[in-house]
Chains A and B, each alone.
Chain A
Amino acid sequence: MLEIDNLSHVYGGGSPNEHHAIDGLNLSVAAGELLCIVGPSGCGKSTLLRSIAGLITPTGGEIRVEGDVVRQTPDNLAVVFQDYSRSLFPWMSVADNVALPLRRKNMDKRRRREAAQEALESVGLQDAGRKYPFQLSGGMQQRVAIARALAYRPTLMLMDEPFGSVDAQTREDLEDLVLKVRGHHQMTIVLITHDIDESVYVGDRVVVLSKAPAHVVGDLKVELPAPRDQISTREHPDFVHLRAEVGRLVRGHATV
């Protein structure tokens, strides 16, 4: 589904401030997998995500999505950013926000509207379509951003610290929402987070990155009983063991 070969990216190459964000990163993600990428803050996680999305062109290496080398934004890809208040369009109603990307899909207006409503229902916001983003809470705005991605029916959904800006309770709800929607939609999800517990709770697999320049320092399979549950999963001995393992890998490579 997604292959990353020897990826590297340098910001401001040649200048005195040149910054090696990623160096020699290899990664392969299978179709239908929910992969969490963890790493210390500032390690180049977002650079990796933007490279996969074709928003920036990496200075070295190659990324392939469904076999095609990424040169611009791949088709059937959706991104959910951390900062929902900036990634939603404040001048549009919630329904219009969700429906807008569907213009790329050759759908007429009525079908776009139906698809948007359906996506809003799947994130529990069936009554919010006519509202504007600023009239919703932060957690609800992020649900809208997720609905926008779902409506697009992506085969690959990238999430960049999607729950980094909401409170703890909302965060748990949104984690469960992601687990729920992946069951209904056939898609591969790559979720970037700096929260170790979250990566183990949500992921089928957790990849740990080193501090910048980022490369893979750990790759763990998460085999926890399904369905996952905020209370029982988190007290499961395997969960406790895995989060300790991931924590050691993250910490071992973080600057203290």
Chain B
Amino acid sequence: MAVQGDRREVPHVAHHVGVSAQTLSRARPASTTTRWSRRAAGALAFAALIELTSRTGLADPEFLPPATEIVGRAVTLPADPAFAGHALTSLLAWAMGLGIAAAIAVPLGLLLGSVPIIDAAMRSVVEFLRPIPSVALIPLVALVIGTGLQLRVTLVVYASLWPILYNTMYGLRGVDPLAKESLRSYGFGPLAVLLRVSLPSSAPFITTGVRLAAGVALILTVSTEIVAGRGEGIGVFIFFAGISVPARMIDIMAGVFWVGLFGVVVNALLVAAERRAFRWHHAQLGERP
């Protein structure tokens, strides 16, 4: 969904890993139009497959409604004030969580990435916390702070921190020492070098981190809502569609459709923003032998 690989992320990672991805970025398919029409074709083919599987009775339409019906239902949903309320609540939790995560992770990453002693001291804590699946924390956090918006935001923040934190530290590690020396040679101190060289130089990596975190945040928003199973939110809407008798499969699918569409759109917008803002970064990658 939102986290899925876009081929243009490859150079971001490969920039540090090695040269191999250079060939990949050179082999990038020609025009944006071609790329978009291929994607659209893929999506249409997938929808057609669902349609056929359902219409032919290969899968029980009770469980897999035809694609046209799912989309038809999805289109009518926003007009339903109840659904709009659910959607807005989810959007709020997602945006707050992602925003708070970035506000914590970027400064923290700058600190850990530039002060080796603090990095060493924090390493074990970070390594312990990071592998904990955020979903596993839902019952604990729910007991402590309740199941409202604060639960969702807390878990979204927790899960979204990591990609941003790691990408910030990763970006800092890749800052060219000569660029830092250039500024130092004009008498600028360590803080000025951090803010004027290291931060802008790592910005493409930080932004990629935020984009990955946007996907993680969406997953956490919806799954926390489903597990909590009360209040408002798209997850709650999906959860109730699932437990009603008989289950309203079409509503589940339509809800999932909106979540997926949101993820795709956010990802595409962030990719486009990265391309625009970091033209210099891509140009530099292209020039590196």
Contact = CB atoms under 8 A, between A and B. Distances in A.
Please say whether chains A and B are actual partners in one complex: yes
A78 B187 CA distance: 9
A85 B182 CA distance: 11
B187 A79 contact: no
Given A89-B197, A91-B200, A91-B201, A55 B181 contact: yes
B284 A134 contact: yes
B280 A78 contact: no
A110 interface: no
Given A87-B179, A134-B280, A78 B203 contact: no
Interface string A83-114: 10111111110000000110010000000000
Interface in B176-193: 176, 178-179, 181-188
6 contacts: A55-B185, A73-B184, A77-B187, A79-B181, A134-B283, A134-B287
A72 B200 CA distance: 25
Interface of B: 176, 178-179, 181-188, 196-197, 200-201, 203, 278-281, 283-284, 287
A81 interface: yes
Contacts, number: 68
B179 A104 contact: no
A133 to B, nearest CB: 8
A152 interface: yes
B246 to A, nearest CB: 57
Interface of A: 50, 53, 55, 72-75, 77-79, 81, 83, 85-92, 100-101, 104, 132-135, 152
Nearest to B189: A72
Given A81-B178, A87-B178, A91-B201, 6 more contacts: A73-B185, A78-B185, A87-B181, A87-B182, A88-B182, A152-B186
A90 B196 contact: no
Contacts of A91: 200-201, 203, 278, 280-281
Contacts of B287: 85, 134
Nearest to B181: A55
- Pairs of residues from A and B, 6 with the lowest C-beta to C-beta distance, nearest first: A101-B186, A134-B283, A79-B185, A90-B280, A87-B182, A86-B178
A73 B182 contact: no
Contact of B186 (A73, A86, A92): A73
B139 to A, nearest CB: 45
A226 B279 CA distance: 45
Instruction: Kindly name the residue among A75, A132, A134, A152 whose own CB sees the greatest number of chain B CB atoms within 10 A.
Output: A134
